[in-house]
A and B are shown apart, each in its own frame.
Chain A
């Protein structure tokens, strides 16, 4: 047929904000704040059936949080089936809202929500994950971290942590709770709040999952934290290497790593300097679902180093470091020495 056939869909993807947080942390307060503030934007809101407070919005959809496993041989690849259907339905009335906000139940594991945006082609085509916003209660977070793995996971997955109920804690308590959050997730942006009073722009329109923005924020590893005994199951590790990365070695390593350890690796992000390539390669993964692409040239004067950050459980620092280091191209210096040493033998 003619050459004019083109299946590309030029329409913009609708941004989706995922709102997580433990029961009573102030999630619905933040949601209502976003909805009622005069910003001229219209949102479709997907709430769970057991919401704490009423939601004041024209377009509210009840979700069942139906999680199912994809048949792709990966037990950690769970997605939200209801979300796939709801987004499919919402797209039919597109044009009547500017964004979607998905509120999860307090006990929800954020992974299936995030993975839905990687795993389902229709959802990927129609929407983009804008950010995962986790609301935590400054007073009760330490207790939640002690008694529920979900509270840790919600922080581990967060792009933005709204540290709420600041009026109920002392400065020392606040500092300690921030330290706990940083230890789990060093790159999340922490926003202190009382009654969830954060600027809307700090939680909406963040584009935090765009590959271009990966590691734009320097992860805030606390000084000496690496040597500390960790007080939570979920930790983060960051590695940086000097020599360029061999794409084939990296692909082989990361594929194997995600396939075998994907369940424990909650989020992975990397910016890589591929050998012979002037553009930066950005990489991210949620459990074992990965996404990567070139995201434009290295900036003038910017050191071309490759860095990768893992957030997860039972992470073996030396093994991960050695694995990443082995993805570098061979050291010309070392190779040169080798030749020099052999030289006389051949002569």
Chain B
């Protein structure tokens, strides 16, 4: 009779304490009152994604090795929990078990549980080996991790000892369904302690197991193991599309007095759920171009610092402080490698953008060199110091019509500031114009009516400036009733395609890599001139990770005669940023190694004679990298438009 009473006391104590701690987390999350993204739509898709990524462990298995270990532990947890439930109920109602489900079912259940108990134990040993011996750099040191593994391992050991004692004491009919426990029983049986002693031991180990389970439940809320509760919901609330427009602030709404996040409480409950989901696996940090070049930003540490700020009830204090410094926030290139790598769908860039918005718009704090960029964008609609009136000068002599001249056209060529003003990128624009002409595409430009899309302003945090520019562009595009747009700049591409919707701009937008790939596959281009060279293609973040355009540029290059392709160590989803995204193009890089040089080194390692890019910012950064490495004689940096244009003969 003592068992049900003691169980009730234990359960009330442990689960009560655990529940109280979870309630506190809920209340803490609710103190974050910023606007959360709308994520309660498209429920069937969300359920499917949750199933694939939680039960199916898809995102976790992006890293196969540790992914498999995690999957074993996770599946083991699900299966063994059935046994734990049985154990709890049987403690309250002696003699209860799942045998009523039918003997075959029960036997299968026991067998699977027995098997997974050993799998989990092996996986825990594997994980310990990884943490103690292999020590991957991105993983870091964590006593919490050892506690979690110790808990998990002890749970499995206690199950085996309990089962083995039980088998020795009662030799039940389902004994054969538990081959692993039988092995343990074989060893324990050597002690020859007698049935009564084994029965007592079974009870002792059961209680050890139950106490560990309950203790674990109480331990979880402040541990990284909290992910077992938070990661599921966070997966359900993930950003379903690859494209992710930044949130639009309504400046007309006079009730908004705080723009961006100054304090933890200015972030949203979804941000809090992100922190709760973090397992500290470090996959974000492993691919972060800032972290990998000795900047103070680690996406993992940022999430943990924000979590600690929330836990330490420092909600009223500014986010920027000793841990989250301004340098941390400005180091981000918004390449999104962290988000794509995250197995629990944490969205790091949202937080960085929100913190930047406060710094820029509320406090006017940003790297000093950015001020002239803002001013250039304000007065001349370009980050570079050039007159708006000179925007179309690059096209002199090319006989390109502007929309004001009311031409017949199929597609608007969005030139962008780089194509208009930057000497190197003007050449790219001319190469693309050559491609369009050779394939008889009717196109036109806005000329001096085009202005900067505002991408850099928005990513730096100057939403107000961005919206000023966005409204001018949308107004012009809609006035001319523009339907289709092609641009050679992934930043313009992403902004017009995904972010102008909020301002009434809905267009069919192509990046020139998509457009060229289409022209090639439709046979409208005839690349015949052989360019014998090995080419490695550098992924632009705003093309790749932000818009999932990986294949088209590669396909186009591969179709050119004479060219061999080589991939860099980091490519596609794992590609490394050139260092210019997120407005970093306009900031000095004073800490650590230079991102563009490190990326260029990866390009040079392939032995390619050409590093191909599809973005004007990447072009600038990689070209600088090649200069720094003193390889300008042997390695060329070319846009895919130039590669294609050069292979056209007539």
Co-assembled chains A and B: no
Measured CB to CB, the residues of A under 8 A from B are: none
